[in-house]
Chain A
Amino acid sequence: MTLLYTEVEEELRASVRDLLADRCRPDAVLKRVESGVPYDMDLWKTLSREIGVAGLLVPEEYGGAGASAREVAVVLEELGRAVAPVPFLTSAVLATKALIQAGEEELIQELASGETTAALAVSMAASPYRPLPETVTVTDGRVLNGEIRAVAGADVADVLLVPVGTTLYVVRAENVRVDVVPSLDLTRPIATVTFSDAPGDAIGAFDVRSVLNFGAGLLASEQLGVAEWCLSTTLSYIKERHQFARPVGSFQAIKHRMADLWLDVVRARAAARNAADLLAADSEPAASRDAEAVGNRELAAAVAKAWCSEVAVHVAEESVQLHGGIGMTWEHPLHLYLKRAKSTEIALGSPGAHRDALAVLADLPGPA
């Protein structure tokens, strides 16, 4: 294991970053958001076709790259750094992980190519450590009724993967209603998904804890990317912005805050890398499935999500403050990052939910 980035990972990062530098600059993202169609599906197709990001987690025999959580994490860092409006987390991470877990073998091949996009129909606010609310019912084993709120990526999904109890159902998007609601996160809006006698097929088992813990541990890397962009953008700004005939970044009151933020980000990087490294073993065969390995993996993901959530929010908030007036304006893209940071703090288990899980995972029991 290593907490550093391998050469292969750095190459993957470089190709994603180059493409995003070309096609997904923050001002372009802001324009797209204003157009009412935040997702850039052309960019998503390019990312999938040219770099193969959609199939990173998919085993090679199903047309994927057979890569691991480590590579996925690097892509998430870059997508976070660009607040890129593409359904990578929702389709290539959460939905793909659910399909792998369910043992599905066909749809996953379509996902791997990026031709088909899926979304896991759970609330983004769902916690890995609580049962999902039972708002959808199944009759005759194949007719779904009910609604699920706050689903991310549903508006660009061709298929929805719907957990009902411990079973995962596949429902085609044309058979459900997807209503995008005004969302705090402008670059990954949420939607209400309504099922009215929607036909669905049971495809296998679903375990909320393992899928969402996996997603949360990797979301930490996206949060790292968000925090890194905020930190470096703010750093450039305070070196250039002059007040009192000096760069504002020369004042100790500012420098000390920046040093603390940097230290938070350094630790976020270590935590996110550690989670990605341990989660990578999750796609390996049975050897790594003993209780201790699972516990170590869940703990690493919980630590990373608890820490990186708060760091991303804190760095984004400090960035707004350190930008002064311009940081409060719509025209500066900083707010896209603040909104993403705050939304992902809530997503897939709040920091508090992950810390509570540590009471068991790290053997720190609460009062009787």
Chain B
Amino acid sequence: MALDEKAIQERVAAFLAGHDPAGDRLEFLRARFDAGLAWVHFPEGLGGLGAPRELQNVVERELVDTPQLTPGVQAIGLGMAAPTILTFGTDEQRKRFLRPLWTGEEIWCQLFSEPGAGSDLATLGTRAVRDGDEWVVDGQKVWTSGAHHSRWAILVARTDADVPKHRGLTYFVCDMHAPGVEVRPLRQITGEAEFNEVFLTGVRLGDDLRLGEIGDGWRVAQTTLMNERVAIGGAPVRRGGGMVGLVAENWRARPELRTHDLHQRLLRLWVEAEVTRLAGTRLREQLSAGQPGPEGSGMKLSFATLNQALSGLDLEMRGEEGLGYDDWSFRRSDSVDFFGRGTGYRYLRAKGNSIEGGTSEILRNIVAERVLGLPSEPRVDKDVPWKDLPR
């Protein structure tokens, strides 16, 4: 029997009758997971009810006044690791990882990009060499948000250098507490270190931490990346919310800052923000039954452009105040926050939006090739063994 809105409401009511939201936060979240009210579209026993994805909104509405997750620090786990583990993990892996991932007891980060492999991720050089029941990992990863408080990482490494680059990759869960994992903060243009470099030296991972088949890492990573782009670009916002809301709020409160030129530009951006929001809503309606497709890449692309334009306008609008900056001191940030702190910070942080999770240029290629069916550029690297590629 398919669950409907009423059935979900009844489940939530029954759950609340047995669990006090004012009690221990962690106990409450664990119980919520066990009741299948974490992500209702996941299977039973894994925090879900096998229900249509859109019914999650019902749960969130009913539980709005109860203990919540911390989405900033849990973003990578919830948005990227979880759907990948669900799709490619073994039963043991799903049982072991999903519950503490969801409750936030274990934080996740992403070991994908490398100094020599950004847009061309498939050319990455971190090696994983089989040694009995274990893999020995050596290499360097970069742009790793939250590595400094992560328990686990999703990792893509090269397990075969003798085949073309896309075919020699394998996907792992990396134990961030394992010997040989070294996390160093990487200072960004905002002054703080939200990201890290992660050095992996002789890190031993059991074969039970492999996700998917050997050599199938590229396909597994695609699932992660599609979900990442939806997570970055597709988050639901109310009309006039998000970055445009911050700008509009200040605009309303500070009539002395208004000029005709700023007004015209603000109205234009407000329209763009609204149509982008509506497209996200429409995309979520389409996705409610299935997995994110390449269309999600489009949402991430518009989100980046819009955030950059809005945060730039916000800073310009403030005139003299815009010449200052709240704090340049070098510190590690607690979570990824696109909207936090001052105007100057938001302006600088937004520059990353068109780079992280696939540059806007790569996303345009994805839209052009996978949505519009346009041919790819002639490739010189496709059929060459990875070890023979120029670098």
Residue ranges of A at the interface with B (Cβ–Cβ < 8 Å): 2-4, 235, 238-239, 246-247, 249-252, 254-256, 258-260, 262-263, 266-271, 273-274, 303, 306-307, 355-356, 358-359, 362-368
Contact = CB atoms under 8 A, between A and B. Distances in A.
Given A2-B285, A306-B271, A355-B268, A239 B374 contact: yes
Interface of B: 240, 248, 251-252, 255, 258-260, 263-264, 266-268, 270-272, 274-276, 278-279, 281-282, 285-286, 295, 298, 301-302, 361, 363-365, 367-369, 371-378
B277 to A, nearest CB: 8
B378 A246 contact: yes
A255 B365 CA distance: 7
B364 A260 contact: yes
Contacts of B361: 256
B371 A262 contact: yes
A125 to B, nearest CB: 21
Nearest to A363: B252
Contacts of B272: 267, 307
A365 B252 contact: yes
Contacts of A355: 264, 267-268, 271
B263 A366 contact: yes
A267, A269, A306, A365: most-surrounded residue (chain B CB, <10 A) = A267
Nearest to B255: A368
A4 B270 contact: no
Contact of B266 (A3, A250, A262, A364): A364
B265 to A, nearest CB: 10
A117 to B, nearest CB: 34
Contacts of A363: 248, 252
B270 A235 contact: no
Contact of A259 (B251, B271, B372, B378): B372
A230 B365 CA distance: 20
B149 to A, nearest CB: 35
Contact of A249 (B252, B302, B375): B375
Give the 8 A-B CB pairs with smallest separation, nearest first: A255-B368, A270-B278, A259-B367, A259-B364, A367-B258, A3-B282, A250-B375, A270-B279
Nearest to B361: A256
A138 B53 CA distance: 60
B71 to A, nearest CB: 24
Nearest to A256: B364
A239 B373 CA distance: 9
Nearest to A260: B364
A303 B372 contact: no
Contacts of A3: 278, 281-282, 285
Given A2-B285, A364-B266, A239 B375 contact: yes
Contacts of A254: 374
B316 to A, nearest CB: 15
A178 B274 CA distance: 41
Contacts of A246: 375, 378
A262 B363 CA distance: 12
A217 to B, nearest CB: 13
B271 A238 contact: no
Contacts of B263: 359, 364, 366-367
Contacts of A250: 374-378
A358 B240 CA distance: 12
Contacts of B266: 364
A262 B282 contact: no
B295 A266 contact: yes
Given A249-B374, A258-B374, A364 B270 contact: yes
A235 B278 contact: no
B270 A263 contact: no
A362 B264 CA distance: 13
B271 A303 contact: yes
B258 A255 contact: no
Contacts of A307: 271-272, 275
Contacts of B363: 259
A249 B279 CA distance: 26
A260 B372 CA distance: 11
B271 A358 contact: yes
B260 A366 contact: yes
A269 to B, nearest CB: 7
B188 to A, nearest CB: 27
A2 B288 CA distance: 12
Contacts of A366: 258, 260, 263
B267 A364 contact: yes
A158 to B, nearest CB: 38
Contacts of A358: 267, 270-271
Contacts of B260: 366-367
Contacts of A359: 263, 267
A326 to B, nearest CB: 19
A260 B365 CA distance: 10
B375 A247 contact: yes
A250 B364 CA distance: 13
A273 to B, nearest CB: 7
A254 B375 CA distance: 11
Given A358-B270, A363-B252, A364-B252, A262 B367 contact: yes
Given A255-B368, A362-B240, A263 B282 contact: no
B288 to A, nearest CB: 10
Contacts of A269: 279, 282
A316 to B, nearest CB: 18
Given A358-B267, A358-B271, A364-B252, A4 B374 contact: no
Contact of A235 (B274, B295, B372, B377): B372
Nearest to B369: A255
A186 B97 CA distance: 64
Contacts of A306: 271
Given A250-B374, A258-B374, A364-B248, 5 more contacts: A267-B302, A270-B275, A270-B278, A365-B255, A366-B260
Contact of B368 (A259, A271, A356, A367): A259
19 contacts: A239-B375, A247-B375, A250-B376, A251-B377, A252-B377, A256-B368, A262-B298, A262-B372, A266-B298, A270-B275, A271-B275, A307-B271, A307-B275, A355-B264, A355-B268, A358-B270, A363-B248, A364-B248, A367-B259
Nearest to A255: B368
